[in-house]
Structure 1
């Protein structure tokens, strides 16, 4: 019988670069995009693909830190949504994709240390949930897969507008 923590990490892997039943993974949705395409703002008031790619690892890192037992201060808007480069280059775009990959891999490494018995133990109040006992590792790990696929859907729509 597979451990629940292993199943959760498998869902995160599927959402990131596997074959989730809901549609293309985050990485598949990003495949083949150029820096110029990723930097466009085709929808007024919406983030660019690049900004989304910079945002996702912020929250992967937050979850990694919380799972490791760290208490974090609130994120400033500029930390939650880092700005894309003023003059986008392919090298910058590839570096952003590499940072996304690295944050994902770090999350999987930290997530693998969470025992099944700890999945339902609240991590304590934090800036994202200051009332009550805080989120559990179970909720946070599910949230990562949801976050990946939520933004994959946004990226899929933005891709149509920049194609």
Structure 2
């Protein structure tokens, strides 16, 4: 049996669960996973604001964690609420705080995976919220918000990759300027 056959999902529901894991720490179709992109990012780079009024890598990680927790809550049947959308890092910006932020995203991801694993395929069609509110992400099915979170994370992962690359280029320029 080939590796491809061993990982071939047996249903759309299995594919959804596989994709959820892949986007975070596997081998997603689009390229690198979140954990791959975050690898090698130190606290200084994570806290660097490369674009005026733009978000830092650290802020993006906290934002992704916040929405992962909110989607997990909704998957488990809790009523939708507005998460702390753009939390501000509440630390000195040191390596241990940055490591804790990344670990918190990993913990939130594992909680979501467990919540999705507990679902039955028919649960993906359960509605969350009666009214469509794009800012709150309501008026959608459970399956839609899970896929939406993967899209959300992939979008922000791309931003992180660009910010990481810009920081690396900045370090190289600084080294050659001396």
Using structure 2 for the length normalisation, give the TM-score: 0.82
Shift of 1:87: 2.4
Q: What are the ranges of 5 or more consecutive residues in structure 2 without an aligned counterpart?
A: 1-8, 169-178
User: Over the residues paired in the alignment, what is the CA RMSD in angstroms?
Assistant: 1.6
Determine the structure 2 residue equivalent to 1:140: 145
Aligned length: 157
Structure number, greater radius of gyration:
2
Determine the structure 2 residue equivalent to 1:121: 126
Match of 2:114 among 109, 114, 118: 109
CA contact (8 A) 1:5 1:114 kept: no
Shift of 1:86: 5.3
* 1:111-155 Cα distance to aligned partner (Å, 9 max, x none): 11121112122123376146xxx2111101111211221111000
* Structure-to-structure mapping, 1:52-131, within 5 angstroms: 52-75=60-83, 79-85=84-90, 87-125=92-130, 128-129=136-137
Using CA pairs under 8 Å that are at least 6 residues apart, name the structure with larger relative contact order, 1 or 2.
1
Normalized per residue, the structure richer in strand is 2
Q: What SS does the corresponding residue of 2:19 show, helix, strand or coil?
A: helix
Q: What are the ranges of 5 or more consecutive residues in structure 1 without an aligned counterpart?
A: none
**Distance 1:129-1:140 versus aligned 2 partners, 3 A rule:** closer
CA contact (8 A) 1:17 1:26 kept: yes
Q: Post-superposition, which runs of at least 4 consecutive aligned residues in structure 1 deviate over 4 A?
A: none
CA contact (8 A) 2:91 2:97 kept: no
Q: What SS does the corresponding residue of 2:88 show, helix, strand or coil?
A: coil
User: Equivalents in 1 of 2:119, 2:162: separation in Å?
Assistant: 35
Using structure 1 for the length normalisation, give the TM-score: 0.89
